[in-house]
Structure 1
């Protein structure tokens, strides 16, 4: 009976602990709205108090005059922009030789000319007011000048970010933070955002943490993008590295920089990355089954870059597609044909199917042309004329020398093969074949060499229906003529 009693006690203990845990979770869930409401109430009271203080301060004559001065400065900045913007635009048009980055900043300043003039006027007025009335102070002007300066600085710096979405997030986020900082509302806002949280085990996810992570990751991605672009420019400008290895090095550097940005960004905001190991393993298994083709194309792309079988600029044939490699992506290769079509061929197909790379080891390509002449023409003359005609075409190489061989004695012609070399397959193959055929036609015509074609002779047998009908028609015509 004792084991059963011990087992029952253990079950009761486990049930009691589970009930207590559930009660704690329920209590936390019940208290969460109250905590959020309390934080929101505190924040609201602080805003109300600040609003009352600002209203009382504005009601003072000197502060009201400062607000009017700020408004007047804005009107003057607007009028100054209307007068100065066309002149600055004409001056910029005469600086077309400037570097791109300098011209980009000049355009940005031109677009923000009113804000620049407004900030300059505000700080000038702050200095004037302090000199005229040191005891009166210039609190409102100073706050307006600080806000305008911070907003302008953020707007100018955000132009460095090329991604529109990321640029907007950074701009509005920085504007909000600067405004709260200058108005001394950062602590209350942080307390409110931190109270809006979700507790899952040891992980506490709050709105403040999410915003911090977004800001830190945005800055980290911006820095990673700059470093990736700089390294890509250095790699692509190094002529000692082959094109395929350049693409591979650029992709690996991008992966490295962005991976470091994610790791540093998450660690900077206090996210524990050890718990992501199990999750990443589960996600990896799921992706392995669901994205087999995608993963296969990614791996095939790395293999292509490492074994240098295909590189940007190569002329290839895949099935019925003939063109040159424009770009090598992570998932596909872009092949541009002579008619302007761009085929996106998966990297897996370039590994598993037969690919003709016309310029793999060198750019020289041999082209064969088959033709025939009549039996009455001297084959020695035909061969000499064909070689000279091919050598007269612009794209045909002088070395190796074009050659012409007899390949067969056909039913109605002597068959030949003309072989010549080119080194610009990217310029097309059909057009050079057409040029050589046209040169052969002109050369054969001037030398009296004929190109035979099949001739057929039709004979009507006696007793056939066609022969009887023809005889009947002839007799009828003859009798009609006698009448």
Structure 2
């Protein structure tokens, strides 16, 4: 008997050791992300899906599916009736802010979802009042799903970038669906089992999904904060335009860098693993990103030395226009004919640039003309100055027009008329033309002639010439 008991105890001990070893193997498989563990989790999720599909054949579940489909159809019918009327009403809303218009457009586009959410919650409330909770369980879950999807759409409307907004919307829709349906833990286990190991670093599908959603949210919030801060800087009158651009760029770099590393820490990524990327970044900067880095550095130099700023009128080669905005890589220059040139920052550093409004906003223009020798030059100069002063954009103070004699030509006394303007963005050719017209009218009113070259041809008699 004692020998049998000893053998039984040894058998139980060996069985326990075998079970413990098997559990350790399963844990190692799950941790390493091998195929058996992934297959087992996926089959478990599939079994739950099949069980749910089988439950749809039950009477109290089937009628809930029918009610949900009927409500969905009713929501689309009501939406087809209400959307045109709402759109016509939305077009009459003058004075609304851009954000209010965005939400108005969102309501117009998502009206079927909004109507379905309202209808299904009303039905769930009625069913819970008159019948058992189990008779409205599926409808309550669908109502929670619809409401969660609607909240995601409303919250993400503040994200301006459509691509980022789409990524965040679909990612959060999938996440709330998994949470409400009770599949979150299984889905997380499945995605976490699909992993690749790089030494001590482990990158799983779950980590990538977290990175996409959380980094997207972080960058969306950062973009919103950056836009608000940039708007406040632009409204500040105590800071020069160049310093506003500089502070805005530095703030953007700081916010986005912080958002990137904060997002990585949120998803649990080991930042020490980024050390190996520095070599690749250095190689990329050395070969493929030379121009990009050059333009970035040139942009910072332009902003810091205040050589050009938004609103300045510049000439670069054949391009003449005013600075619309300073970008990280290029400068936007708008010409008088409506063309917008994106000039790389490096070109503004290495090439000769004429800044018509660098030190001050005054620009001098010159006009050359001539009058006949019989006209009094003192009167001509006086009339020319008065004609220039009569043109609207010509300054009379502190810069006043002047007129000087430049020489005695073959058929005229030559003059130069100099005048100043302070709005070169309004055009140079047009103001010159207006001054020429004023001179023409003034000279005609005072009987001053504008000579032009004349030639006399005399025919000599041949006999007399002999």
Superposed CA offset, 1:35-64 (max 9, x none): 543234323432343244324433332222
- Indicate conservation of the 8 Å contact 1:331/1:346, yes or no: yes
Classify the secondary structure of the residue corresponding to 2:358.
Answer: coil
- Indicate conservation of the 8 Å contact 1:161/1:222, yes or no: yes
- Indicate conservation of the 8 Å contact 2:33/2:192, yes or no: no
TM-score (norm 1): 0.81
The answer to whether structure 1 residue 402 and structure 2 residue 407 are counterparts is no
Classify the secondary structure of the residue corresponding to 1:336.
Answer: strand
Counterparts in 2 of 1:155-194, with a 5 A limit?
155-194=153-192
**Which residue does the alignment assign to 2:281?**
283
1:121 Cα shift? 2.7
- Indicate conservation of the 8 Å contact 2:152/2:172, yes or no: yes
**Which residue does the alignment assign to 1:131?**
129
Classify the secondary structure of the residue corresponding to 2:56.
Answer: helix
**Which residue does the alignment assign to 2:259?**
261
Deviates more, 1:45-54 or 1:182-191: 45-54
Q: Distance in 2 between matches of 1:91 and 1:435?
A: 47
Q: What are structure 2's unaligned runs of at least 5 residues?
A: 1-28
1:315 Cα shift? 1.3
Counterparts in 2 of 1:68-467, with a 5 A limit?
68-89=66-87, 91-93=89-91, 95-134=93-132, 136-399=134-397, 400-456=399-455
Tell me the number of residue pairs that the alignment of Structure 1 and Structure 2 aligns.
434
**Which residue does the alignment assign to 1:45?**
43
1:293 Cα shift? 3.0
Larger RCO: 1 or 2 (CA < 8 Å, sep 6+): 2
Q: Distance in 2 between matches of 1:77 and 1:260?
A: 44
C-alpha spacing 1:386/1:64, structure 2 compared with 1 (3 Å): closer
1:193 Cα shift? 1.5
**Which residue does the alignment assign to 1:19?**
none
C-alpha spacing 1:306/1:88, structure 2 compared with 1 (3 Å): same
Q: What are structure 1's unaligned runs of at least 5 residues?
A: 1-30, 472-483
1:228 Cα shift? 0.6
1:231 Cα shift? 0.5
Q: Distance in 2 between matches of 1:118 and 1:317?
A: 59
Counterparts in 2 of 1:472-483, with a 5 A limit?
none
- Indicate conservation of the 8 Å contact 1:288/1:295, yes or no: no
Q: Distance in 1 between matches of 2:235 and 2:57?
A: 65
1:360 Cα shift? 1.9
- Indicate conservation of the 8 Å contact 2:33/2:195, yes or no: no
